C-alpha cells in the first residue's frame, strides 16, 4: 500500500463527484445516489465515444434534470470534479486515471479484472492522487471478508474450501473480483498464496481433491446482482459464509462513503478496510 498523506482539506460546499460509465446499470445507480445525497453534487458524467447517451442529461433516464451532460471528453467531463467514481473496464479506468492525475481528481475504483501490471500502474498514480480501489464497495461484503479471515484461521485443518459466486449474464470477468478477494483473504489467513493454490475449473478425471487448494465455481445467468459463498467443508459438518446482493444500491452507497473518505486525503492507495476502520 502506498503511504498516504493526511493533508488535503475538503473545499467548502458539497463534494463534486463525477461518474464514469454514466449510461450503464451501475453508472445510473451511482448518479441517482449522488443526486439524492445531502453532501454531494453531480459534476461530471463520462461514457464511451460510441454511447447513444452522449449529449443527454445524465439524469434523463430517471425523468429528472441534473444539468450535467454525458460526454466522452475526459478533460471536459472531469474538470469540475473533486472525485471520480469508476465502475467500468480496466482499460477505461486506466485512461481515466491518467487524466485524473493530471487534473488532481481523486478516484474511487470499483472496476475489476486488473492484471498485476495494471495494479502496479494504479499504485504509481496513487503517489500523486488519492485512490480507493476495492473489488466490492458493499459494506456487508467487506465485513464478510473480515469474518472469513477469522474463520480461516480457526478452520485451518480438516476443512476443504470452495468459493461459489453467481452474477448476471452480462458480467464479463470470472471469477468475480469479490470472489478472488475472498480467496486472497482466506489464503493469506492460512499462510498460502492464492496464485499457488487456486483451482478455477474441474473436468474429467481430476483425482482426489488436494486439501491445500481453494476451489472456485462460477455461475452466470439472468439478472443476479451478486451472490458469494465460501464453503468450509469438513467431516460431518459444513460451514458456509454467504453474502447476497439484491440491489446495486449497496455498491453505490459504499462508493459514496469511499468518496467522502477520499475528500480528506491528498494521495495514497486505500481500500474499504480503511473506510470502515477494519485495517
Cell numbers for 11, please give them: 473545499
Domains of the chain: which residue ranges? 15-137+248-276, 139-245
The CATH number given to 15-137+248-276 is 3.40.50.720
Mean pLDDT of 29-37: 96
Q: How high is the pLDDT of residue 278?
A: 84
pLDDT grade for 253, boundaries at 50, 70 and 90: very high
Domain pair 15-137+248-276 / 139-245, same fold? no
Compute the distance between CA of residue 236 and CA of residue 1 in angstroms, rounded to an integer. Answer: 41
Instruction: Say whether domain 139-245 belongs to CATH 3.40.50.300.
Output: no
Q: Is the pLDDT of residue 238 over 90?
A: yes
Burial of 14 (0-12, 13-18, 19+ CB in 10 A): middle
Alpha helix locations (H) across the chain?
A: 25-36, 74-78, 90-103, 116-125, 139-154, 177-189, 194-197, 249-262, 272-276
Q: How high is the pLDDT of residue 161?
A: 98
pLDDT grade for 248, boundaries at 50, 70 and 90: confident
Question: Mean pLDDT score of the chain, rounded to an integer?
Answer: 94
Q: How high is the pLDDT of residue 12?
A: 67
Cell numbers for 227, please give them: 451472490
Q: How high is the pLDDT of residue 7?
A: 37
| Cα distances (angstroms) measured from residue 167 to each of 109, 206, 209, 216, 223 | 19, 26, 26, 14, 7
Q: Is the pLDDT of residue 103 over 50?
A: yes
Mean pLDDT of 117-127: 98
Compute the distance between CA of residue 182 and CA of residue 214 in angstroms, rounded to an integer. Answer: 10
Compute the distance between CA of residue 93 and CA of residue 112 in angstroms, rounded to an integer. Answer: 10
Q: How high is the pLDDT of residue 279?
A: 74
Of the listed ranges 78-82, 127-131, 273-277, the least confidently predicted one is 273-277
- Active site members: 167, 171
Amino acid at each position: 500500500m502506498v503511504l498516504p498523506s493526511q493533508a488535503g482539506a475538503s473545499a467548502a460546499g458539497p463534494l463534486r463527484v463525477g461518474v464514469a460509465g454514466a449510461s450503464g446499470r451501475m453508472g445510473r445507480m451511482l448518479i441517482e445516489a449522488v443526486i439524492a445525497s445531502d453532501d454531494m453534487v453531480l459534476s461530471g458524467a463520462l461514457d464511451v465515444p460510441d454511447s447513444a447517451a452522449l449529449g443527454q442529461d445524465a439524469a434523463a433516464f430517471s425523468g429528472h434534470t441534473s444539468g450535467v451532460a454525458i460526454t466522452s471528453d475526459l478533460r471536459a467531463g472531469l474538470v469540475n470534479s473533486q472525485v471520480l467514481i469508476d465502475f467500468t473496464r480496466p482499460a477505461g479506468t486506466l485512461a481515466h486515471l491518467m487524466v485524473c492525475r493530471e487534473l488532481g481528481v481523486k478516484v474511487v475504483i470499483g472496476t475489476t479484472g486488473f492484471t498485476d501490471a495494471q495494479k502496479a500502474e494504479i499504485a504509481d498514480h496513487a503517489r500523486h492522487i488519492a485512490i480507493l480501489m476495492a473489488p466490492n464497495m458493499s459494506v456487508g461484503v467487506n465485513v464478510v471478508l473480515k469474518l472469513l479471515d477469522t474463520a480461516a484461521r480457526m478452520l485451518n485443518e480438516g476443512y476443504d474450501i470452495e468459493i461459489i459466486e453467481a452474477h448476471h449474464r452480462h458480467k464479463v470477468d470470472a471469477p468475480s473480483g469479490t470472489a478472488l478477494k475472498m480467496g486472497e483473504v482466506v489464503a493469506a489467513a492460512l499462510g498460502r498464496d492464492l496464485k499457488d493454490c487456486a483451482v478455477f475449473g474441474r473436468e474429467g478425471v481430476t483425482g482426489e481433491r488436494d486439501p491445500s487448494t481453494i476451489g472456485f465455481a462460477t455461475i452466470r445467468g439472468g439478472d443476479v446482482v451478486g451472490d458469494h459463498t465460501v464453503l468450509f467443508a469438513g467431516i460431518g459438518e459444513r460451514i458456509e459464509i454467504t453474502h447476497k446482493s439484491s440491489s446495486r444500491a449497496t455498491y453505490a452507497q459504499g462508493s459514496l462513503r469511499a468518496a467522502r473518505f477520499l475528500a480528506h486525503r491528498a494521495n495514497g492507495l486505500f481500500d474499504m478496510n480503511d473506510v470502515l476502520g477494519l485495517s
